[in-house]
Amino acid sequence: MNLEELTTRLHTIRDRNDWRGFHSPKNLAMAASVEMAELVEIFQWLSEDQSRRLPTDQLAHAGQEVGDIVLYLLLLCAELGIDLEQAVRAKLADSERRFGK
């Protein structure tokens, strides 16, 4: 996954639709949270076992919500100057240090 390419494509969509004014860090964080809530809603009333065996349509829906979340996080990182790959690697290294490999 080329995060720079994805971010460039997102910025193209943003700029074509004149959405830049709406893409403040606050708004992007809130939008990611809303999309996360939509992902959670898919699993809301399922058992643990059912949550591991989603029907094809629900699995596709979950994938769409995950995509939305990741895209909003890419936009948020671009706005804040956060290198997403570096942030994820640093967090993973911290988790490995704290919880073992």
Domain residue spans of the chain: 3-99
Q: What's the mean per-residue pLDDT of the chain? A: 97
pLDDT band at 101 (very low <50, low <70, confident <90, very high): low
Check: pTM over 0.75? Answer yes or no: yes
- Rounded to whole angstroms, the Cα distance separating 73 from 47 reads 29
- Rounded to whole angstroms, the Cα distance separating 70 from 94 reads 21
Which CATH code is given to the segment(s) 3-99? 1.10.287.1080
pLDDT band at 1 (very low <50, low <70, confident <90, very high): confident
